[in-house]
């Protein structure tokens, strides 16, 4: 945890983990990094972590300065602090992540671990990264997805006997099941467990982790997935729950197909105003969630559910059968669906949500926010999804004008949308993270 306003909730998560039956599995090696808030920032939490002990067996009786490395000690049957990293730590710096992961990996390898899972719990911001260390003297506001991937891969490579990739990386955080995240993290993990939208501050439900699920990393992921959607750790279901587990090898196949579809969308849009109008209509009607730069009360959420957009475009276009657009759309949709091991919605969530989002702001927002335009489209920025060059080219042309071509006879779309689409807001559902 990077110190921020989620400390009280992550303390509860840590206590839930300690209280679970699964942590007692003798084959499971558990390490926890905890970086609490400093005194004088936000609400001052002075109490010690619950049910945490020193290595001599004595209980922690006060909040300690610095960051703690904790592990479950099977002999003592207690969560034990093995050491402190003294001084204020920057939880958003990749070196902090590297240091902890390499420390834990060495111990796991020494104990003969065969599968490896990392859970990151804090604020999530999709395209804009993870974390949010609140030390105001720092310029870094979040750990970018690229820097996070580099730190994870470097930790794996630094430990002899460690695998090439983690089996599962999970984000107990908002908005991290995103194309803009997975395009980086696929290089560090086999599976990605995360939500495409906001999460309740209480986060996942760790106390239901059992001895059956701990047999594998994917088993733990499935346990967390199922219990998050069906239980509430603090009785708060006011924020909708969505979660999915994506296979990153299959995601890579989808990514290639989606970029190919983007190329064809761009080609047709540039010559046919009808295709442009249909893209705009599909964009407006797609399920959407509040993205990293959106005001919380925005009417135009910028994080678009990928499956919803593909479905809406197919609905409004009905491309000519056998056309290049039809074939690429079918391939992208099939590969998108095939990547999910599990995906589901809980209380209050849009039932048609499909598991993964992509940053696709409305034109109105892009016209008002030049920084957003650059973050999304300028490949020199660490936020840009560089693995989708033809998607970025499509976006640049889509945002450049409301009129790109002419209404042509024989449009590849069999439906005609001659007038510019206007939002009915019936299909747009926004949730705040």
In the chain, what are the domain boundaries? Answer: 7-167+205-217, 251-400
Give the model's pLDDT for residue 80.
Answer: 97
Query: Strand pairing partners for 84?
Result: 68
* Ranges assigned E (strand) in 103-251: 117-121, 166-172, 189-194, 242-247
Over residues 84-123, the pLDDT tens digits come to 876 667 778 899 999 999 999 999 999 999 999 999 999 9
- In the predicted structure, residue 423 carries a pLDDT above the cut 50: no
Mean pLDDT of the chain: 88
- In the predicted structure, residue 404 carries a pLDDT above the cut 70: no
Residue 289 falls in which region: left (phi positive, over 0), alpha (psi -120 to 50) or beta: beta
- Interatomic CA distance for residues 302 and 279, integer angstroms: 15
Judged by DSSP in three states, 311 sits in helix
- In the predicted structure, residue 386 carries a pLDDT above the cut 60: yes
Give the model's pLDDT for residue 391.
Answer: 97
Give the model's pLDDT for residue 372.
Answer: 81
- Interatomic CA distance for residues 256 and 251, integer angstroms: 9
Least confident of 51-65, 132-146, 269-283: 132-146
- In the predicted structure, residue 250 carries a pLDDT above the cut 80: yes
Give the model's pLDDT for residue 432.
Answer: 32
Give the model's pLDDT for residue 406.
Answer: 63
- In the predicted structure, residue 431 carries a pLDDT above the cut 90: no
pLDDT bin (cut points 50, 70, 90) of residue 43 is: low
Give the model's pLDDT for residue 138.
Answer: 45
pLDDT bin (cut points 50, 70, 90) of residue 428 is: very low
Higher pLDDT, 64 or 81: 81
With tokens 């989808």, the residue in question is: 254
- Mean pLDDT within 372-376: 83
- Interatomic CA distance for residues 98 and 41, integer angstroms: 26
Give the model's pLDDT for residue 281.
Answer: 95
- In the predicted structure, residue 358 carries a pLDDT above the cut 50: yes
- In the predicted structure, residue 366 carries a pLDDT above the cut 50: yes
- Mean pLDDT within 55-84: 91
Higher pLDDT, 239 or 67: 67
Give the model's pLDDT for residue 134.
Answer: 66
- In the predicted structure, residue 362 carries a pLDDT above the cut 80: yes
With tokens 């490949």, the residue in question is: 379
pLDDT bin (cut points 50, 70, 90) of residue 297 is: confident
Highest mean pLDDT among 79-88, 349-358, 417-426: 349-358
Give the model's pLDDT for residue 294.
Answer: 82
- Mean pLDDT within 35-39: 70
- Interatomic CA distance for residues 226 and 62, integer angstroms: 35
pLDDT bin (cut points 50, 70, 90) of residue 211 is: very high
Least confident of 149-153, 243-247, 257-261, 349-353: 349-353
Over residues 325-334, the pLDDT tens digits come to 999 999 999 9
Give the model's pLDDT for residue 141.
Answer: 55
- In the predicted structure, residue 140 carries a pLDDT above the cut 60: no
- Interatomic CA distance for residues 73 and 264, integer angstroms: 56
Closest among 325, 395, 399, 388 to 366, alpha carbons compared:
399
Percent of the chain past pLDDT 90, that is, above it, reads 67
- Interatomic CA distance for residues 395 and 420, integer angstroms: 18
- Mean pLDDT within 205-233: 92
pLDDT bin (cut points 50, 70, 90) of residue 430 is: very low
């Amino acid at each position: 945890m990077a110190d921020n306003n989620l400390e009280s909730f992550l303390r509860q998560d840590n206590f839930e983990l300690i209280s679970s039956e699964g942590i007692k599995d003798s084959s499971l090696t558990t390490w926890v990094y905890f970086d609490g808030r400093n005194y004088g920032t936000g609400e001052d939490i002075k109490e010690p972590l619950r049910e945490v002990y020193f290595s001599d067996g004595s209980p922690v009786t006060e909040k300690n300065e610095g960051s703690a490395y904790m592990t479950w000690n099977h002999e003592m049957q207690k969560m034990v602090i093995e050491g402190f990293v003294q001084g204020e730590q920057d939880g958003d710096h990749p070196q902090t992540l590297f240091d902890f992961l390499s420390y834990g990996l060495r111990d796991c390898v020494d104990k003969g671990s065969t599968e490896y899972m990392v859970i990151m719990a804090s604020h999530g911001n999709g395209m804009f990264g993870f974390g949010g260390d609140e030390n105001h003297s720092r310029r870094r506001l979040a750990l970018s997805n690229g820097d996070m991937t580099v730190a994870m891969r470097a930790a794996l490579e630094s430990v002899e006997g460690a695998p090439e990739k983690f089996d599962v990386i999970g984000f107990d955080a908002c908005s991290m099941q995103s194309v803009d995240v997975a395009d980086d993290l696929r290089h560090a993990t086999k599976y990605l467990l995360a939500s495409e939208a906001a999460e309740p501050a209480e986060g996942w439900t760790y106390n239901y982790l059992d001895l059956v699920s701990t047999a594998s990393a994917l088993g733990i992921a499935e346990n967390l997935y199922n219990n998050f959607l069906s239980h509430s750790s603090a009785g708060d279901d006011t924020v909708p729950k969505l979660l999915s587990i994506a296979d990153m090898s299959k995601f890579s196949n989808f990514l290639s197909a989606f970029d190919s579809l983007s190329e064809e969308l761009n080609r047709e849009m540039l010559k046919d105003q009808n295709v442009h109008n249909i893209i705009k209509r599909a964009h407006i009607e797609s399920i959407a969630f509040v993205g990293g730069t959106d005001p919380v009360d925005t009417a135009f959420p910028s994080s678009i559910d990928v499956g919803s957009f593909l479905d809406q475009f197919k609905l409004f276009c009905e491309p000519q059968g056998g056309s290049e657009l039809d074939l690429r759309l079918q391939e992208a949709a099939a590969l998108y669906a095939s990547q999910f091991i599990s995906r589901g919605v809980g209380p209050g969530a849009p039932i048609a949500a499909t598991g993964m989002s992509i940053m696709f702001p409305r034109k109105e927002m892009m016209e008002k926010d030049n920084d957003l335009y650059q973050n999304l489209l300028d490949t020199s920025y660490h936020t840009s999804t560089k693995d989708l060059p033809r998607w970025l080219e499509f976006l640049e042309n889509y945002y450049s004008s409301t009129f790109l071509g002419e209404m042509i006879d024989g449009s590849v779309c069999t439906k005609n949308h001659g007038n510019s689409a206007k939002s009915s807001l019936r299909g747009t559902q926004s949730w705040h993270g």
